[in-house]
Structure 1
Amino acid sequence: MGTVVAPKPLLLRDGRPAAAGWSLDPGMRHLNHGSFGAVPVVAQREQQRLREEMERSPVVWFPALPARIAAARAAVAGFLGVPAEFTALVPNASAGASAVYYSLPQRDGGEVLVTDHGYGAVTMGAARLARRWGGRIRAAHVPLAAGAEEAAAAVLEQIGERTALIVLDQITSATARRLPVDLIGRAARERGIPLVVDAAHVPGLVEDPLAGAECDAWIGNLHKFGCAPRGTAALVARGELRHSLYPLIDSWGAEDPFPERFDSQGTLDATGYLAAPTALDFVADQWGWAEARRYMTELADYAEELIGEAITAATGEPAAARVGMPVNALRLVTLPAGLGRTRLEADALRDRLAAESGVEAAFTSFDGTGYFRLSTHVYNTPDDYEYFAERCVPVLCAWARS
């Protein structure tokens, strides 16, 4: 029997279930907030209101847009606990990383150091940068169970004379673990090597997300746990590198300083940027972010144990995953043997379960092992994961046997 008690589901201030604040299909079980997020109804309506305003008077809208974006990023910067003058808004973490890659000076023969936990799109961009430099990409292997010191050592021992950039996840996507950006950042600073931190999952999950992160650029998605409209992320650059950072598309703000040059992007639909503070404020006003994180953590504790025990009981094999630096609202449970061994197999499981069982879930792989990646948010309830354990675990086990 499980030892973790299920938390009491959250309610809106008017007494309705938390899920009533979203427009998610009630006919589906939504257990994968971490991939694409989910936008509260109030933020959806605000974005639509802004779009209608834009379409009513585009000649008035676009000249005034940079000032409105500046106000939105100031609000976002306050949420992240950093100064607005160090903060730009970009479409997502991959776009922010690409902006950094294309802004860095040429380093003939330079190598880019990543880890084998890196997000595919960001790693592919790093590999292209290395090819442009005439160098190569080097991937450090970090064991899933590695603690902070072991993980830092695994990365730092891969640094060589040609290392010109380090790209590191603060919270990894596929493996739902943290990496010691503080330890690695200090070592990179001592060696004069720029560090880019992919913090795609961090805003909303970490109270002070940049505390201790000694990095040259930090990029966090607001559309994941922050619940902002998709296509909204923050690029924070606090050191000298920020003076060299430019958006991928030159526009009329190209000669402005950082971050103002990112505020002018022509006819880009920036309504997601402008509605982001509404989403952040919604969670703050309904529960407070500290309470939201507490609930997500306790629900993840419950779900991880419940589903792990269900898989273990069905297969006879231990399903608990040993994760060295676990995350509060993202967890791993080992799948029945043979399932999700590669990214493509894991994605196929995601699609099949949604189509056949009405459950949106995330499956990932690492070192040839497949995992169910738990991803909780305030609108999830213990019943969601009890349903998964009762209905979906037998399905997954049947698929493994076949």
Structure 2
Amino acid sequence: MSETEVITVPRPLLLPDGRPAAHAWSLDPALKHLNHGSFGAVPVVAQERQSALRAEMERAPVVWFPALPQRIAAARTELAAFLGVPADDLALVSNASAGASVVYAGLTRRRGGEIVVTDHGYGAVTMGAERLARRWGGRVRTARVPLDAGEEQAYEAVVAELGEATDLVVVDHITSATARRMPVARIGEAARRRGIPLLVDGAHAPALLDGPLDGVNCDFWVGNLHKWGCAPRGTAALVARGPLRDQLYPLIDSWGAADPYPDRFDQQGTVDATACLAAPTALDFIERTWGWDDARRYMDGLADYGAHVIGTAFAELSGAGAGDDVGTRVDVGMPVPGMRLVRLPDGLGSDRVDADALRDRVARELDVEAAFTSFGGIGYMRLSAHVYNTPADYEYFAEASVPVLGEWARAARERKRSEG
């Protein structure tokens, strides 16, 4: 950090009764929860709402299920308003990957069967694209986007892969592994000019971005409400526009199969849909308690602070001066609020398998829920702050966990040298 840069220590958010924000969640206080972005965390009020709905379902299932499509349609209307899209464009699915699978199942080859993805894509969604390309007898083309690429460079990298054989483009709105935006609005314009459908994987976008689909011209968009929106897990949106949406059907045929899009997604037999019905409760809780705009500002400031504190601790392991995080600071080109990357010492998290193993070991041995990712053979800690986090969470990790990670990194490097 240069002498002119000042990192502000955010003031922790409180509940109206003065208690810390974390008291509105049921997270284990014996753990430090620094990885909201992977699976989210559901506030108690939304858990209670879902429990009440489940109790209602179990009291009279023969009454519950025939009436369920109307209740899902009502919840869908509320969630569409939160995302700023027409309710008739939005279907509810279990998660963003399921929404992508719906799109893959509904599309047909029209040209050469090629699908363009990026090297930042979410693994499960990219694997689905590869499976579709095999079924089409085509192939996947991967756009290489440097981690620090700005909007223009990222746009050019993706558009350069589009050609006469391209049948689909799949691009993240916010990348999972690298915590950066992609220029999906501009890519959408380019794809539309070429007559190529665009699927935007917006898994992290709902609630983290205000009006995430504003100005985005795409055929399909999927986003998880159980991440930053704190909805019960199993709540995600599939937004589809244009004539291709008539080809989209739920992955399981049910009695609503003959209904138009998106109504046919409202009836899925005996699926437990209480997560979707309770989702507006979670969104409303954040809005009523702090307001989403203030919540996003807090999360962004806290992520900045956390990246500085933890980055400085890692830098000092290598002999840098106090307060200097330059060696670990990561420029992601198009940053997003509430998420930051901190570079790990060499020897840690250099690929996905190692990063996942590090996540599990840190939880098991250090009592910290954290996210570790890799890109280009380099390991990173991905910070994703929410309203229940405080500066003390990151200070604790810097003081108690970073030295241990430094020892693990040294041991890993020595083991690699001895093996080869």
Settle same-fold status: TM greater than 0.5. yes
| 2:138 equivalent to 1:138 | no
Where structure 1 has 5 or more consecutive residues not aligned to the other structure, the ranges are none
Q: Distance in 2 between matches of 1:284 and 1:57?
A: 33
- Alignment match, 1:325: 334
* Residue of structure 1 aligned with 2:274, choices 252, 267, 271: 271
Map 1:273-312 to 2 at 5 A: 273-312=276-315
Deviation at 1:394, TM superposition (A): 0.5
Deviations 1:287-335 (A, max 9, x none): 0100100100110111111111111111247111121001111110000
Q: Secondary structure at the match of 2:115?
A: strand
Q: Which amino acid aligns with 2:380?
A: Y
d(CA) in 1 for partners of 2:108, 2:253: 17
Is the contact made by 1:140 and 1:154 (CA closer than 8 Å) also made in structure 2?
yes
Mapped contact 1:5–1:302 kept (Cα < 8 A): yes
Match for 1:88: what amino acid?
A: A
Distance 2:408 2:163 in 1: 45
**Paired amino acid for 1:237:** A
1:72-126 per-position Cα deviation (integer Å, ceiling 9, x unaligned) = 0101001001110111100000000000100112346401100000000000001
Note if 1:256 corresponds to 2:265.
no
Counterpart Cα distance in 1 of 2:244 and 2:313: 49
1:217 aligns with one of 216, 220, 225 = 220
Deviations 1:238-278 (A, max 9, x none): 22222221111111110111110000100000000000000
Give runs of ≥4 in structure 1 deviating > 3 Å: 106-109
CA distance in 2, matches of 1:185, 1:302: 34
Calculate the TM-score normalised by the size of structure 1.
0.99
What is the rounded CA distance, in whole Å, between the counterparts of 1:206 and 1:375 in structure 2? 14
Aligned residue in 2 for 1:228: 231
Counterpart of 2:310 in structure 1: which amino acid? Answer: I
Amino acid at match of 1:50: L
Following superposition of structure 1 onto structure 2, how do residues 1-400 of structure 1 map, counting pairs within 5 Å?
Answer: 3-107=6-110, 109-316=112-319, 318-400=327-409
Contact 1:107-1:133 at 8 Å conserved across structures:
no
Cα distance in structure 2, aligned partners of 1:192 and 1:315: 51
Give the letter for the 1:309 counterpart: T
Q: Deviations over 1:332-360 (max 9, x none)?
A: 00000111000000001100011111000
Give the partner amino acid of 1:327: V
Greater displacement, 298-307 / 376-385? 298-307
Contact 1:100 1:245 in 2 (8 A): yes
RMSD (CA atoms): 1.0
Superposition TM-score, scaled by structure 2 size: 0.94
**Gaps spanning 5+ residues in structure 2: where?**
321-326, 412-420
1:136 Cα deviation from its structure 2 partner: 0.7
- Give the distance between the partners of 1:140 and 1:338, measured in 2 at CA: 27
